[in-house]
Amino acid sequence: MQDRLHQGETRVRKAQFTLSAPESKRLIGRAVKEHEWVKKALKNGIVAIALGSTNAFVAEEILGRKIKKEKYIAGFVDKRGTCVIPAPERLKSVVLEKGRIIKEDVEEVVKRMKNNDVFIKGANALDFEGTAGVMMASLIGGTIANVLGVIKARGIKLIIPVGLEKLIPNSIDEVSKAAGIYEVSYSTGIPVGIMPVSGEVITEIEAFEILAGVSAVSIGSGSIGNSACRTFLVEGEEKKVRKAIEIVESIKGEKEIKALRGDCTTCVYAYCPLNKKDI
């Protein structure tokens, strides 16, 4: 450790990290657990964690145990395109009241949530204005369509964990105007609409601040291999930079989540080009 942290008498105030997508998700999951809103709601209120790949890591961190992350997903994107895990294959969303798991579904519990409660929903895209975008494969919008109005009407705290791998150069508002299930004539996977969503966005940048008290910038993106990687430069007091290094070393090697595709020939999404095809 000393060799990595010091060169002669030079004190370390900056460090460079490259994180794979799963490593970023783990980092963000830990940060969400330590967010002040979540801590307060776990003690005195409700925390609802919607399905999603990053939220699977959030759920593990909050619960303090492993879950089948590949089943804590509804819609997903892989190299074949946009897809949805069959409902029978999915886990139930985790909902906690005063720190204890309850059996209510997120779409039901939101109806009695208030401004000090926390709803956690991942995203498929993030623009430079900090607006997130959620893909909707359902003709009636899915979870986000069922809960967003209630969340905004009541002032429920909305946390959006999303890695910078999902940063896009376009405005989410503009993208949402162009996208739509019936707008496209061809798609690799299920065609989707886009819902713009604003809330407390937590990327790797915010995660480093929450967990170690360091500032971070992304200095590179992309990699070879299967995982989308980002490279970060963090800066701060030596003690805090050391803490960031320890955190990163503890999450290195996080495994990819396996995509659980169903049988395309029996898929309920009739408007998917892969539906009913022998593939």
Paired strand residues for 118:
47, 157
DSSP letter at 93 equals P
Strands (E), 1-139: 14-19, 46-49, 75-78, 81-84, 94-97, 100-102, 118-120, 125-126, 132-136
Residues 89-108: tens digit of each pLDDT: 999 999 999 999 999 999 99
Check whether 6 has a pLDDT greater than 60: no
Q: Average model confidence (pLDDT) for the chain?
A: 94
Instruction: Retrieve residue 229's tokens.
Output: 């990687």
Domain boundaries, the chain: 21-213
Task: Please name which of 153, 152, 130 lies closest in space to residue 200, comparing C-alpha atoms.
Answer: 130
Residues 11-37: tens digit of each pLDDT: 879 999 999 999 999 999 999 999 999
- Average of per-residue pLDDT across 62-66: 98
At 139 the three-state DSSP class reads coil
- What is the dotted CATH code of the domain comprising 21-213? 3.40.50
Burial (0-12, 13-18, 19+ Cβ within 10 Å), 258: exposed
Task: Please name which of 106, 132, 126, 133 lies closest in space to residue 117, comparing C-alpha atoms.
Answer: 106
Which residue is listed with tokens 């999951």?
29
Residues 116-174: tens digit of each pLDDT: 999 999 999 999 999 999 999 999 999 999 999 999 999 999 999 999 999 999 999 99
What does the DSSP assignment read for 180-246? -TTT-S--SBS--EEEEE-SEEE-HHHHHHHHH--EEEEEEE--SSSS--EEEEEE--HHHHHHHHH
